Chain A
Amino acid sequence: MSNLFNRERRRFEAFIRQHRPSLLGLARRLCARSSLEPEDLVQETFERAMPEFEHLKDRADSAAAAWLCTTMTNRFLDYCRRQRTESRGMPHLALVQDLAVSPEETQENWALVSTDAFQKAIERLKPHLRDAYRLHAEGKRYNAIAEHFNVPVGTVGSWLTLARRDLKELLLPQVAVAREQGATSS
């Protein structure tokens, strides 16, 4: 029994180690200048993952990451709703929902996108959009990117918005292909 215990524990630890850094990076941005602690948001997300781990552990990394992202987003939106309600002095019980999601309820389009597909897609962006987005993904703030390209800060915001729009357009059609392939192979 202790073997099962240790094996499950190690698998879950590995799962957390794999996904925690990227989730925490997102959480820090969402929680910036708020009373919500990014670590709490991430910790809660992994707590939600525990009862689903039986399903999550055997799924592709992209699917597990998408599930975690959906769950964390739900937790965050839950927090936003609660805060809004409290600031208006309304009872919040009806609005606060426990938004744990089942693996099937995750945003399934994103669950099918692999990191390889992403790397191919970013190479197809216009050079300035690709480079700006790479710098952003490395953690550079808008003003640092603006300085790098010697453009106004507002321009960086526009470039990133365009880069994201293009990435989405490049990636999500692949989902349809991936799904068709899944359908024919099954």
Chain B
Amino acid sequence: MTTPCTNLHLFVDGELSAPDAEVFRQHLGRCPECEAGLRDLLQLELLASRALGGASVAEPLPAKVTPLRPWMQRVSRTVVPVALAAGLAAVGVFRLQAQPEAPTDVWLAGADVRTLEARLSHPMADRFLPYEPMRGTSGAANPLPLRPLAELEEQQDFRGIAAAYALRGDWQQAESFLARAPASADRDNDRAVVALSGQRWEEALNLLGGALRQEPRHAQALWNRGLALRGLGLLKQAEASFRDVASLPGQAAGWKVAAEKRADEMRALRDAEAARWQRLVRETWTQLTEKTADAAYLVRQQPAVTRAALYEAVRTATSADAVASLLPLAAALDQLGEGTVLQDYVRDAASRDFKVRAPLAEDYARLVKGALVPGLLERLRVSQETDLYVGALLHTGEAARDAESLKALQRYAHGSRDPWLNLLAERERARSEEASGRAANAEHLLLATLRTCGAYNTLFPCAEIN
């Protein structure tokens, strides 16, 4: 009867039967003496094979060594490990042929949540999972296995490599590999994901526009477009893009539901923001008309709301004195920007004939509170009180529906030299384009208007452009 320990040499020499070898392997796991003996024995055997060039270990090296192209255009901390992985892949190429597919953990197959909000085009990186934003952790928790990386490089799957990096938040690497991928809607989509990661919304939108021109029903591009538009504050357009995703056939049910949910969120957010804005303006307008406002505080704390409330206060004032009393506030707001447009406006309004203006101003006040007196728009149109007419057009959205109204609005805004009124006129023009079915034009106009608005810093409520 032999103890398993006496079988160490026979085991190492491959002389045990299959069952005995199996017993010995199990024994090895719990016997420190055999473990130590095995370590020594293997070192000696390796030395012998190196010194004597044993035939048992002669192994024809793979004849086919795939040449790897030089890659990595710039200095990078991964160049050496990736080079080694490439070396391993080249020498071990026969192994790779036996197992051509890359392990799925390259794309975090084991994950149960998604930490990337955007969608990558690579199918392995676009499985539906519940979204959970990163909480202070980085991709380092999931180091990228290098061998599969080299395999993907062999297959020239640059989008796959970029996706692996992107999932780990290594955007620089992702970008450099995407630069090497052939042009396609998928590549543009993934480049947009990189842009989104840096909150470069417009760049992302341009790339996605290109992707969608090639493939109008590109699910990932439509989804990412929703994210870019949301980032720009174009919530209505973002909602439409998510609805488009939800309506696409043949996709994972999870994505469809998630897209619907996003679209609903965009709508809710837009409604909530609009309601909040209207409430704030109305409250401030009330304070101004009731003379309870702390003008200095308002100008300092909420200049955009105060500006909007000032227009309403001027429009709804029923006497020259009431209008003139708003002059200091107009001057204070003018000081934040440049020029005297608000003071000019207040002076002009104060000089009106209030026998004619007062009744119209009263009906306009009802409109501000939400009640449109029948025929008011037409009465205002034919009156000389153009500022009230323009205010009513903005409240009712008439300018987006009627070309003549839009022209009137644009003429007034232009003549006033008031930048905010011009921005609003542009917004109405964009809405008019959208109402006429020219959504792309509308988006283009809105983006241009937003850019202009943004240039005024916090002076104007750019969210109102949406």
Instruction: Give the interface of A toward B (CB within 8 A).
Output: 1-6, 8-13, 16-17, 20-26, 28-30, 32-34, 39-40, 43, 46-47, 50-51, 53-54, 61-62, 65-66, 68-70, 72-73, 77, 80-81, 83-85, 87, 95, 107, 110, 113, 115-116, 118-119, 122, 133-134, 136-142, 157, 160-161, 164, 167-168, 171
Most chain A CB within 10 A, of B16, B42, B82, B146, is at B42
Q: Which residues of B contact A8 (CB under 8 A)?
A: 79-80, 83-84, 87
Nearest CB in chain B to that of A36: its residue: B25
CB pair A84 B26 closer than 8 Å? yes
Measured between alpha carbons, how far is A81 from B38 in the docked complex, in Å? 14
CB pair A25 B56 closer than 8 Å? yes
Q: Which residues of A contact B22 (CB under 8 A)?
A: 33-34
Separation in Å of the A86 CB from the closest CB of chain B? 10
CB pair B28 A157 closer than 8 Å? no
15 contacts between A and B (CB under 8 A): A1-B79, A9-B84, A9-B87, A16-B92, A22-B46, A22-B54, A28-B14, A29-B12, A34-B22, A62-B47, A80-B28, A122-B51, A138-B52, A164-B44, A167-B44
Nearest CB in chain B to that of A2: its residue: B70
Q: Which residues of A contact B57 (CB under 8 A)?
A: 21-22, 24-26, 139
Interface of A is mostly: helix
CB pair A168 B44 closer than 8 Å? yes
A12 touching B87 in the complex, CB below 8 Å, given contacts A6-B70, A34-B22: yes
CB pair B51 A157 closer than 8 Å? no
Separation in Å of the A181 CB from the closest CB of chain B? 19
CB pair A69 B9 closer than 8 Å? no
Interface size on B, residues (CB 8 A): 64
Q: Which residues of A contact B131 (CB under 8 A)?
A: none
Nearest CB in chain A to that of B60: its residue: A21
Separation in Å of the B21 CB from the closest CB of chain A? 5
Q: Which residues of B contact A134 (CB under 8 A)?
A: 52
Measured between alpha carbons, how far is A127 from B3 in the docked complex, in Å? 30
Q: Which residues of A contact B58 (CB under 8 A)?
A: 21, 25, 139
Q: Which residues of A contact B74 (CB under 8 A)?
A: 1
CB pair A47 B83 closer than 8 Å? no
CB pair B28 A133 closer than 8 Å? no
Nearest CB in chain B to that of A167: its residue: B44
A1 touching B72 in the complex, CB below 8 Å, given contacts A65-B47, A65-B50, A81-B29: yes
CB pair B81 A50 closer than 8 Å? yes
Nearest CB in chain B to that of A11: its residue: B87
CB pair A50 B13 closer than 8 Å? no
CB pair A50 B29 closer than 8 Å? no
Q: Which residues of A contact B404 (CB under 8 A)?
A: none
Q: Which residues of A contact B13 (CB under 8 A)?
A: 29, 136, 142, 157, 160
User: B15 contacts the other chain (Cβ, under 8 Å)?
Assistant: yes
Measured between alpha carbons, how far is A3 from B10 in the docked complex, in Å? 48
A157 touching B10 in the complex, CB below 8 Å, given contacts A8-B84, A137-B54, A138-B55: yes
User: B35 contacts the other chain (Cβ, under 8 Å)?
Assistant: yes
Q: Which residues of B contact A62 (CB under 8 A)?
A: 47
Nearest CB in chain A to that of B8: its residue: A161
CB pair A26 B42 closer than 8 Å? yes
- B46, B90, B146: the one within 8 Å of A13 (CB): B90
Nearest CB in chain B to that of A172: its residue: B40
Separation in Å of the A177 CB from the closest CB of chain B? 17
CB pair B9 A164 closer than 8 Å? yes
- B28, B73, B76, B90: the one within 8 Å of A9 (CB): B90
User: B59 contacts the other chain (Cβ, under 8 Å)?
Assistant: yes
Measured between alpha carbons, how far is A176 from B154 in the docked complex, in Å? 47
Measured between alpha carbons, how far is A140 from B13 in the docked complex, in Å? 10
Q: Which residues of A contact B41 (CB under 8 A)?
A: 164
Q: Which residues of A contact B25 (CB under 8 A)?
A: 34, 80, 83-84
CB pair A84 B44 closer than 8 Å? no
CB pair A4 B80 closer than 8 Å? yes
In the complex, given contacts A21-B49, A43-B95, what are 16 additional A-B residue pairs having Cβ atoms less than 8 angstroms apart?
A1-B74, A5-B71, A8-B80, A9-B68, A9-B90, A25-B58, A26-B42, A28-B14, A47-B147, A50-B146, A65-B47, A73-B38, A110-B43, A118-B48, A122-B51, A139-B58
Separation in Å of the A91 CB from the closest CB of chain B? 15
CB pair B52 A17 closer than 8 Å? no
